[in-house]
Amino acid sequence: MLEPTPQVLAFDVFGTVVDWHGSIVREVRAAYPQVDADGFALAWREGYRPAMARVARGELGWTRIDDLHRLILDDIAPRFGLGDLGEDERAHLNRVWHRLDPWPDVVAALHRLRTRFTLCTLSNGNIGLLADMAKRAGLPWDCILSAEVFRAYKPDPATYLGVASTFDLQPSRVMLVAAHHDDLEGARACGLRTAYIERPLEFGAARPKDVSPRAGNDLHCRDFAELADKLGA
């Protein structure tokens, strides 16, 4: 068992908890069969970091992820033959991010982990998005924390240290669980414990991720079930 034992497990959400790529592909294929759904999902996600960088540089004021997703959607829609979508259709499509499905191992393992740890999100997604997602998918969070709470996007230290402050804990009593090494590096730099989760199909079967272990993480797990095993839940 890790020493000191973490009290709070904070979870990255997009890609770690939920399958954003597969979920978007399924919904776009059903609604717009003429669209390259795989390319559309990837293009939408590729706009994510540049959009957040505009906020970080001050080009945009504080902007929720829902609104950044809409800016990206409006930009890419014409490239995929969706430039004529009306406002109601655009608004509904933009909320696909509220309807993402969890990976198959997630829900049961979270219930196991919740018997021993406090579980919270630490996502760049906004609170309304994360709450809708949790309600739909049955994600048993004790608390929903978001970049929206801290007015800073990961990997800003304010996000990681904000979790520890919220629960009045030393950073070492918080563990970030994520499928992204840059996120985990940011957490470690702030004194948090870290667990890497393999999500080789995050970007789809045609673009498998390298999920080999890297030094520095406290745990490296195939999925959430293995995380629960290793943490004794």
Residue 1 has pLDDT above 70, yes or no: no
Q: Which CATH architecture has domain 8-19+100-230?
A: 3-Layer(aba) Sandwich (3.40)
Please, which pLDDT band fits residue 164 given cuts at 50, 70 and 90? very high
pLDDT at 48 over 90: no
Confidence at residue 57, expressed as pLDDT on a 0 to 100 scale: 87
Per-residue pLDDT at 138: 98
Domains of the chain, residue spans: 8-19+100-230, 20-98
Mean pLDDT across the chain: 96
Is 8-19+100-230's fold the same as 20-98's?
no
Q: How far is CA 212 from CA 6, 181, 196, 208, in A?
A: 24, 11, 10, 12
Strand ranges (E), 95-191: 118-123, 143-146, 174-178
pTM value is: 0.95
CATH number, domain 20-98:
1.10.150.240
The values of phi and psi at residue 110, to 5°, are: -60, -40
Asked if residues 46 and 207 have their Cβ atoms less than 8 Å apart, the reply is no
- In this structure, which amino acid lies at residue 165? S
4: tokens are 């000191």
- pLDDT: is 169 or 54 the higher one? 169
pLDDT tens for each residue of 101-155: 999 999 999 999 999 999 999 999 999 999 999 999 999 999 999 999 999 999 9
